[in-house]
Amino acid sequence: MTPSRRCFSAPGKALLAGGYLVLDPENSSFVTALSARIYAVTAPTPSLDSTLPTVTVLSPQFQEGEWSYTVCRSPTTGFVSLPAITPDRRNPFVQSAIASVINYLSATGTLQTPLPSLTMTILSDNAYHSQPSDAVPRFNKHPLPITEVPKTGLGSSAALTTSLVAALLSFYGDMNTDAAETKIILHNLAQLAHCNAQGKVGSGFDVACAVFGSIVYRRFQPSIISSLPPTPTSSAAEALYLLSLKNVIEADWNVGTRACSVPRRMRLLMGDVSGGSETPAMVQMVLRWRKDGGESASAVWTALGKANEKLIAAMIALGEQAAKDPKAYDAFVDEVLKVGASGVAQLGHSNGGRTGELFVQVVDAIVEIRHNLRGMTAGSGAQIEPVEQTKLLDACSALPGVLGGVVPGAGGYDAVCLLVAEAAVDAIAEQTEGVFENVKWLELREEATGVREEDMLVIEEFL
């Protein structure tokens, strides 16, 4: 093993509660980090003293997965531009991650000099992309470029950008990405790089989840990012740009990133639904309805916000209760295994004390969220919980061990997400397979940890 190699990884996401409302910094959302991760391995590239340093990113699972840049640093201003050595190839997320980190380190005066050349190799878990069969090897290779392989909607660009930013901060800035203050810088840089690459300021829940793991997320004010001047074209502008970049990255973004997770013995069950939806088009329809839909739209929006808050509070309280009164909690979960969601609500009302009460709140909140998402669907015309998903979610909610289910994120024909008792998973799969042909339960589960350094020994064999 090359001793200087290091590996950083970041997780994918599911937005359990907060689709659309998360675009407004007033609202909280519940974001779950998933077991599918993207890994970035750093290795110094031997280079000649006389040549300019280069940064190369390899993504060997995809055809044409190589992007190389020369690092040109202005001796007067310190601004770094990155002309592509492979100009016919584009990967805006890769380029943007490198540019943001190197310029930030340059602005803070901590960029390593002379700058060594670097190669980063990306490995991405199979769950991010549709696979030809279930029996593919880990980190399966595709016979197509990345842009042509269908995605599953787990937030590959956010996990990629975050793992690259962590790798770059550690390689070029010698920063400990585990330290709390570095994680905030990492988050802000990854958000900026992701927005620049996307060409728009998104809600950022996927990037925040890739950095911090499962969280109750509240967005930053978009003006923080849009206040940064455009990429400079003169020396005077370069100096100003670097100063602004440092200020923006080190400012208090006031994001909500409180850690949360699915309570023990419960599990998220993610179902891939064949179809697929266009998130940006749906966002446009919803925002238009929100703006022009008068009081009825406002009422649905407010009620959905309340239902989301209720679910968030109940999930957190239930996790605490599981630790505080494990006996009562375990006894209640054993009962949950015997009944469907409405049965859980009945049980919780009649007995179960505080634990029962909290289970009722979770079940009720999911019902309320779905009710309002259907109101949004009807009002906006965006197919957020389409009728097919209503049928699927209703049928699943009646199965023993299921607390309820939602269409995660923007909703539509991408996925469903159930909250279930862990021990019921196999029975749920058995009872739904063949009945609902278009749902495929995924091997994914919550893994609440955000960006982290990996043991190189574990990843080495896949390189």
Amino acid in position 217? Y
As a whole number of angstroms, the distance between CA 386 and CA 365 comes to 19
Contact map string, positions 188 to 227, toward ligand DP6, x by CB under 6 A: --------------xx-x----------------------
Does the footprint of ligand DP6 cover residue 153 (CB under 6 A)?
yes
Q: How far is the CB of 171 from ligand ADP (least distance, A)?
A: 18
As a whole number of angstroms, the distance between CA 32 and CA 442 comes to 15
- Cβ nearer to ligand DP6, comparing 23 with 304: 23
Which position among 126, 409, 442, 446 is part of the footprint of ligand DP6 (CB under 6 A)? 409
Does the footprint of ligand ADP cover residue 127 (CB under 6 A)?
no
Q: How far is the CB of 23 from ligand DP6 (least distance, A)?
A: 5
Which position among 156, 188, 308, 355 is part of the footprint of ligand ADP (CB under 6 A)? 156
Kindly indicate which of the ranges 153-161, 171-179, 322-330, 401-409 contains the residues binding ligand ADP, using the contact rule CB under 6 A: 153-161
- Cβ nearer to ligand DP6, comparing 213 with 409: 409
| Structural contact between residues 403 and 233, judged by C-beta atoms closer than 8 angstroms | no
Other beta carbons within 10 angstroms of residue 57's beta carbon come to 24
Chain-centroid distance, C-alpha 64: 25
| Structural contact between residues 98 and 106, judged by C-beta atoms closer than 8 angstroms | no
- Cβ nearer to ligand DP6, comparing 26 with 461: 26
283 binds, among ligand ADP, ligand DP6, none (CB under 5 to 8 A by kind): ligand DP6
202 binds, among ligand DP6, ligand ADP, none (CB under 5 to 8 A by kind): ligand DP6
Q: How far is the CB of 356 from ligand DP6 (least distance, A)?
A: 32
Does the footprint of ligand ADP cover residue 36 (CB under 6 A)?
no
Kindly indicate which of the ranges 155-163, 364-372, 373-381, 407-415 contains the residues binding ligand ADP, using the contact rule CB under 6 A: 155-163
How does DSSP assign 123-153, residue by residue? Answer: EE-GGGB--S-S-PPTT---SSBGGGSPB-S
As a whole number of angstroms, the distance between CA 203 and CA 217 comes to 10
Cα–Cα distances in angstroms (integers) from residue 279 to residues 28, 55, 160, 202, 335, in the given order: 20, 32, 19, 11, 38
Does the footprint of ligand ADP cover residue 162 (CB under 6 A)?
no
Report strand pairing: 29-45 vs 54-58: unpaired
As a whole number of angstroms, the distance between CA 186 and CA 193 comes to 10
Q: Can you give the binding site for ligand ADP, defined by CB under 6 A?
A: 38, 59, 91, 93, 122, 124, 146-147, 151, 155-158, 160
